[in-house]
Structure 1
């Protein structure tokens, strides 16, 4: 057999490939699945329901405060203490089922404009709906309210009333979640209560917010919280 015929015989003996056969090649592999797309599709109904619920709660609240035509212009009336923003955050917190946050922001809104009838009504309605009484001493503009709760947390901590200190500190963090010193105080309270995992988590948050806080770094090193 000549070399040319030998080569032809070898080529004919090879199995067909996709480029050499006229018949399509069957691919039995399962189609690729886009996990992110599936997750997004699965979450869509829950997100839609959450939005529907928030809209319903917002409308219900504003109706009880006085309705869109009457309540909204008064709630969001300008003042010198960022009261309109606090009022809006109170409404949105209630819509999102954040009860304590809604009452705190309602206090701040009223504190910015104590004579505002819509904000007075907002606080009363939120107290009734959430079952959480407002703090008469905490009807203050937002900045002053944060300072008020911070002082309450500090005083309760030094008096070893750790439950009260914890509650006040949590209020501070609801109003200003990036306050590194409030996270330090929270960590100190949890440490005093013997809850070391939560104490460590709070100190880590404080260090992340303020890496240059030497007091926090030293305390964490002393307790092996690298």
Structure 2
């Protein structure tokens, strides 16, 4: 595991702009490693709305750049033009297809995905019904058909930062009529992903 200490007296401020789905985990790792990194978290449901995601991410990056800050992006391939955004803003992002890959690692992610898993994180569980109906409409049968077409079960992912979202997870699983399982994960893989992204961004201007 790599650890980078970014000293405020000799580093340009670095701001991590991105999805708020793992904000508690990211904040804990920043504090643990004493990284000189500020954060700006966007709504974790933006991946459902490409136009909003593009607008809010680009606006946030531009605002930070105008303040003279370096930025690094906390997202996966959550928008088809993500790499264009990174190029336009002369920045980079955390490696991984999505936040679940960044948290679990690719092999564990694919192992569960191939068995039909839908991954549920705490933030999504706590906002599940309004988030899903805003995206797919109010017809529960249609929503269940969508989920059943590509998923066989829901796996609630619990990290050391998670609160008790047992009830919310069960309600979410019942809403889409999928059986619920649980997975406990460490922050080791996410820590490496963050450290690599921070190092990559700082080395771009070295």
Structure in which a larger fraction of residues adopt helix: 1
**TM-score bin, normalised by smaller chain:** under 0.3
* TM-score, with length taken from structure 2: 0.23
Structure in which a larger fraction of residues adopt strand: 2
